[in-house]
Amino acid sequence: MAHPLVQTVVELAEPVAASLGLEVVAAVFHTNQAPPILRIDVRNPQQDTSLEDCERMSRALEETLDATDVLPDRYILEISSPGISRELASDREFVSFKGFPVLVTTTEPHDGKIEWRGHLVRRDDTAIYLNQKGRAITIPRSLITRVQLEEG
């Protein structure tokens, strides 16, 4: 379960990221650390996310967070890129990563397989659609446990 402050932090971080040409793709607050760690993953939709992108986001978001007192106690802010082996979850991620190679894992075999590899076509309320070397694959969402980006 996400920490209750994560949504507030994301709402503050998204406009900061947008002003830098970045997108917030994930946020987590690790309160079991001392001091706690606020980690935010950002993506540059125009190119590979660079260390410079993360540094710019870190400086800009730090100013915003300090000005709001959303996190009144000490914390460590970590900004990073999501990496290629990232799990897709939100509708926005499925749109952003259309055409990317993915690995879909199911709870039980679908057409005899538990793992499916292909290029993401789309996701709707009932299924995920892949292109597997020109062949259209439809996997029911009710069977899917995980959709993860793969290196192309």
Query: 62 versus 31: which is more confidently predicted?
Result: 62
The per-residue pLDDT for 45 is: 87
Instruction: Identify whether 115 is part of a domain.
Output: yes
Does residue 85 belong to any structural domain of this protein?
no
pLDDT at 150: 81
Total count of domains within the chain: 2
- Same domain for 76 and 96: no
Q: The domain containing residue 131 runs over which residues?
A: 91-149
- Residue 135: inside a domain, yes or no? yes
Q: How far apart are CA 25 and CA 33, in angstroms?
A: 22
Each residue's pLDDT tens digit, 45-57: 888 888 899 999 9
Residues 128, 104 contacting (CB under 8 angstroms): yes
In this structure, the answer to whether residues 68 and 100 fall within a common structural domain is: no
For residue 144, the cross-strand partners are 106
**Residues contacting 29, CB < 8 A, separation 6+:** 2, 3, 5, 6, 9, 36, 37, 38, 39
How confident is the model over 67-119, as pLDDT tens digits?
A: 898 887 888 999 988 765 578 887 878 888 889 889 999 999 999 999 999 99
